[in-house]
Amino acid sequence: MREFSVVGKDIPRPDAWLKATGKAVYTDDIKLPGMLYGKLLRSPLPHARIVNIDVSKAQALPGVKCVITGQDIPKVKYGNWRLFPATQDEYALAIDKVRFVGDEVAAVAAIDPDIAAEALQLIEVEYEELPPVFDIESALKEGAPVIHEESPNNVSVTRKIEYGDVEEGFSKADYVREDTFTVHAVSHAYLEPCSTVAQCDLDGRITLWTSTQTPYIIQCLLASTLEMRENDVRVIKPYVGGGFGGKMELRPWEFCAAFMAKLTGRPVKFTLTREEELATGRRRHPMVIYSKVGFKKDGTLVAKDLKISLDGGGYNSMGPTATFLCGNFGAMLYRYPNYRFFGQHVYTNKPPAGAMRGFGAPQSLFATETQMNMAAEELGIDPIELRIKNAMVEGDVIPDVATISSCGFIDSLKEAARMSNWKKKRKSLAPGEGIGVGCYSFISGGVFNWFNTQYPFSAAEVRVFSDGTAHLLTMASDIGQGSDTALKQILAEELGLEMKDIRVTSADTAVTPQADLGTWGSRVTLMAGNAVIDAAKKIKEKLFGAVSARFNLNVIYDMECKGGRVYAKGRPDRGMSFGEAVAMVQKAQRGEPLVARGYYTPRGKGLVTPAFSFGAQVAHVAVDQETGKVEVKKIWTAHDCGTVINPMAAEGQLEGSIHMALGYALSEQFVMDKGKTLNTTFLDYKIPAAMDMPQSKSAIVDTYEPEGPMGAKEVGEGLVSPTAPAIAEAVYHATGYRCKDLPITPEKILKGLRDTKKRKRKRS
């Protein structure tokens, strides 16, 4: 196996001290001369027709420079990117109807935020109220109010996956179980609220600084909605305070800032409040999941039938993609010889749901893993042994969807069992304590080969200089996960340089290569990393040729870049410093800079992704029998993520996933009343605090992903999925209460305990 000098080492992120000391510049920190401040007027009703909007009083307020409504903007719909035009259903401001409490109706730009907020109070909107629907069942009833006329049954998208013969598979099963699960909406709860600043130059071109995960996608969609040419819009991503999928779409404030900057000739800034984020922001999809699975007596899986309905809220957002991915994740982890999936995305009059860390996997895998635990008990098989028996292995195929290239799932299960002392703890824990297991698989970069794009999926430009340094330019977006550091490590390894020798410029659509679909689907390290390697190889090809010629080396000598030098392997004296080699190439090229571009598009690597990660997690809990409160005491995780580029960063991703999954499993939920979100602060939207975090121990399962850069694949996003089912199983082990409707609250546990006692009394 290749020995690395930089890759695989704990390297702190170079921006860490800037963030820790408050010196990092986020979008809301940007202040431009003459800047105006924007505010959005939002609908107080969940479903209504807009009869009339009177903005005259707001326009007359001193300090107000611009007021716009849906009647003022180009009538261009957007949503789910331009790659799925049939599902685009949003305007930047509502034109005919509002479809959720918080739907954007008008925008104001004024000389300070207080004046803009006062102006909102002066806008008079006349609504004709329409009957709303707030859940999937109501939305699907015959005669239900129609939310979008293009979808008269309130179903915007359906997706199907099917292979084998499901009915025949069930006919051969010795044990069949059917269950329905419900999972709830949660917030991304990123610490930096969304913010954007737009400036229009004298030629009418727009520059947008915005807190985003997808600069190129924002450029495309913003240009479309403004009816401008793509390259007349420049998008720059400053530091981002978390995204988790919630900052990957064009949003109304980005359009309004740009449109109003064009109208006024002055920069315009919008920054959301925490209340706006929690009440109206994108959220994880609530779902109703029906799953039927069949087994032989020995525990062998024979068939699975999965039906999922997603509550998408008022607009599609990223729901069409999530609908397909749920079915993909439902087919993962285990070998299902016969599989059928039907998914539907349903409109309701609630805030839209979008992409969120895991993108359908936490919901789908909660059902999968809970059923595996239930089946294990009824079949009399240890839950980990049942998983090992059915676990995917390298070479397994999901027909027409994916081929598993590298897979350490079985080793992950065995390692999690070893670390947690699984078999002993399952039998010997104190009363009120329990232990449970959950597993995951996740994509390593969304491919979605139905995309029809003229650009590669990722690109990188590398410039090298005679002083021994290099400059990496990439559209890949570091939103806190540390991708700038990982890509710098990959380039340093390839060119034999140190981290201090490399400068990185990222996420500026006017400067960096015009490719990269953004930070989502755990795609950056694999896809941008491969593009970096491709560019570095092109640089090395020129350096090796020049050095070989200089020392009259024949083809028997392999060349390498290492330790800041370029030389022949086995003959280190036949070489020179990296900077000298660059100078020699530049001289031969009559001063032309030594620059290379690298590209990566994984064509022919499956419909969804070129690689999958795997892992297993065990949770140990204690449940207070009097209050129902759950304490997660310890979590053990074994994950197969290929070659680890930066172990320190991988550990941080694991801990972040556990934190997010704890909230999903136990405490976070929206309190809604007739479509209105009531808990709109972090005081009453209960994300876990530092003291809620359990002890954790992790292990890397050693695999090599041939499609990944230096063998790397996904780590972090997939790990958000196993925690909820592991905790749910541990709670059942401790109390006898089985949760099939997240979150696992004390009230549900106490009711479950009462029901268990009643059943015991009846049996006695």
Task: Report the half-sphere exposure of 757 (CA within 13 A, side-chain side).
Answer: 7
| pTM attached to this predicted model | 0.96
DSSP states along 657-699 = HHHHHHIIIII----EETTEE---STTTS----GGGPPEEEEE
Q: What is the pLDDT of residues 676-723, one digit of tens each?
A: 999 999 999 999 999 999 999 999 998 999 999 999 999 989 999 999
Instruction: Report the pLDDT value the prediction gives residue 651, as an integer from 0 to 100.
Output: 94
* Residue that is written with structure tokens 């958000």 in the block: 720
Residues contacting residue 154 through CB under 8 Å, at least 6 positions apart: 133, 139, 140, 144, 146, 147, 148, 346, 347, 348
Give residue-wise pLDDT tens across range 187-245: 999 999 999 999 999 999 999 999 999 999 999 999 999 999 999 999 999 999 999 99
CATH number, domain 450-600, options 3.30.365.10, 3.40.50.720, 3.30.428.10, 3.20.20.60: 3.30.365.10
Check residue 156 and give its pLDDT. Answer: 97
Residues 6+ positions from 155 with CB-CB distance below 8 Å: 140, 344, 345, 346, 347
* Region(s) of the chain under CATH 3.90.1170.50: 31-130+191-242+247-280
- The first and second tokens of residue 19, run together, are 């963030």
Q: What is the pLDDT of residue 445?
A: 78
d(C-alpha 92, C-alpha 44), whole Å: 17
* Sheet containing 458-464: order of strands: 502-506, 470-474, 458-464, 594-600
- Coarse DSSP helix, strand, coil percentages of the chain, rounded to the nearest 5 percent: 30, 25, 40
CB-based contact 616:439 (threshold 8 Å): yes
Question: How far, in Å, CA of 313 to CA of 356, rounded?
Answer: 15
Looking at residue 85, what is its pLDDT?
Answer: 78
| Topology annotation, domain 287-448+606-763 | Aldehyde Oxidoreductase; domain 4 (3.30.365)
Query: Are 240 and 212 contacting, i.e. CB atoms less than 8 angstroms apart?
Result: yes
For residue 12, report the phi and psi dihedrals to the nearest 5 degrees. Answer: -65, 150
Cβ contact 496:565 at 8 Å: yes
Q: Which of 326, 61, 292, 347 is nearest to 169 (CA)?
A: 292
In 3D space, the residue among 259, 209, 254 whose CA is nearest the CA of residue 234 turns out to be 209
Tokens coding 234: 């420049």
Topology (CATH level 3) of domain 31-130+191-242+247-280 = Aldehyde Oxidoreductase; domain 3 (3.90.1170)
CA 494/CA 559 separation, integer angstroms: 12
Write out the E strands in 130-239.
155-163, 175-183, 195-200, 206-210, 233-236
pLDDT value at residue 84: 67
CA proximity to 481, closest of 57, 93, 16: 16
Q: What's the CA gap between 277 and 196, in Å, rounded? A: 14
| pLDDT for position 450 | 46
State the 10-residue block means of pLDDT for the chain, 764 residues long. 89 92 97 98 98 98 98 92 77 97 98 98 98 98 97 96 97 98 98 98 98 95 96 97 96 98 98 98 98 98 98 96 94 97 98 96 98 98 98 92 92 98 96 97 73 74 98 95 96 98 97 88 93 98 94 78 94 94 96 96 80 97 97 98 95 95 98 98 96 96 94 93 98 97 97 81 64
Token output for 293: 């699975």
**What letters, b where the CB count within 10 A reaches 16 and e where it falls short, cover 685-701?**
bebbeeeeebebebbbb
As beta bridge partners, residue 334 has 391
Q: Which amino acid is at 224?
A: S
CA atoms of 429 and 734, how far apart (whole Å): 9
**Nearest alpha carbon to residue 732 among 412, 371, 416:** 371
CATH 3.30.365.10 location in the chain: 287-448+606-763, 450-600
Give per-residue burial for 147-168: e unless 16+ CB within 10 Å, then b.
beeebeebbbbebebebbebee
CA distance 100 to 102: 6
